[in-house]
Amino acid sequence: MNYLRAELLRACLKSLLDQTWPRLEILVVDNGSRDHSTDVVSSFADRGIRLLALTENRGFAAAVNLGVRRARGELVALLNNDAVASPEWIEQLVTGLDASPDVGMCASKILFYGSDVIDKAGHLIFPDGQNRGRGTGEPDRGQYERTREVLAADGCAALYRKEVLKQAGGFDERFFAYAEDADLALRARWLGWRCLYVPGAVVHHHHSSTLGPYSPRKIYWVERNRLWLALKNFPLPLLLLNPFFSIYRLAWNLCAALLRRGAAGNFRREGSLWLLLRVQLQAWRDALAGAGPMLRKRRRIRTTRKIGDLEFCRHLFRFRISAYRLAFGDKERRQPCRR
């Protein structure tokens, strides 16, 4: 999926053309970019890259769903326009997917561009639905070199069986952006599919290059979609406990903001504590306003699930991240972000 950032898109496409995996169909879904992104894609037309151009920005989920419908293969790889894949990226992910027939998704090792710092090595989750990359912010010192199961793959760079996407119903387009990959993974979990992290599938990522990591819009989408994810997927006892887990997580975030550390501290440095509170309140208001469609989707998930509530909760707590790590995991930023 592409939206703006034409200068990054060219490097992304070149990395796909350099893949060692021989059978590759490359589709670029452009979300109504106003820069010269479509011209960049057209310059690769003689290399077989196809452009699907939308007239407006319909969000990550809608763009990916369109690409999946048009893709001819049985496996679908996603790569953001601000990411550059190593030559063996696809080959490594396919090998991971072949490990077991119940592996339906594979996660990449995603590094911050130009560094050896980990962006994500799969996803973890807090019991209120807030998900985050495993190992985010840690220097890559070989601690994530083992192929192992994780909760979810980050949609920035992942491989899916097309059958998984079909069974789970694709990405939820109401999310627009953020948490739709975790939501999809949880719906796939309910259907008995697993996700495998493949350390040899390396991608370098210009993290949050479009909005910036602490954009109010990003904070809004993350918090609203976190609530929708829980409402759709969590068993009732865990859903009833959601406010208490959230209060606990937000208390740690408040500490981080007051100490000017972590994500909340960075947001306060670039905005204000009151703006952060206002964005949170707007997200909660709109999450409640959109609860109806999520409850209808919840009923469909409950009627088609293949595992029980206890097994699902075991998955969530097996791949749990602490509230402290969520609050203080981000490093201090001195420069203002791109908004």
Q: What is the pLDDT of residue 170?
A: 96
- DSSP helix/strand/coil, 65: helix
Determine the average pLDDT of the residues in 143-157.
96
Question: Is residue 333 scored above 50 in pLDDT?
Answer: no
- Residues 69 and 41: beta-carbon distance below 8 Å: no
Name the token pair of 223: 């918090």
Residue 214 — very low, low, confident or very high, per pLDDT cuts 50/70/90?
A: low
Residue 213 — very low, low, confident or very high, per pLDDT cuts 50/70/90?
A: low
Determine the average pLDDT of the residues in 49-73.
92
Q: What is the pLDDT of residue 210?
A: 52
Q: What is the pLDDT of residue 209?
A: 47
Alpha helices in the chain (DSSP H): 6-17, 37-42, 59-70, 89-97, 162-168, 180-190, 216-233, 236-240, 242-258, 262-270, 273-289, 291-304, 309-318, 323-328
- Gap between the terminal Cα atoms of the chain: 20
The pTM of the whole model exceeds 0.85 = yes
Would the CA dihedral through 26, 75, 203, 331 be positive or negative?
positive
**pLDDT tens digits, residue range 192-212?**
999 999 999 999 998 764 555
**pLDDT tens digits, residue range 69-98?**
999 999 999 999 999 999 999 999 999 999
Measure CA 56 to chain center.
Answer: 21
Q: Which of 34-48, 92-106, 315-329 has the lowest mean pLDDT?
A: 34-48
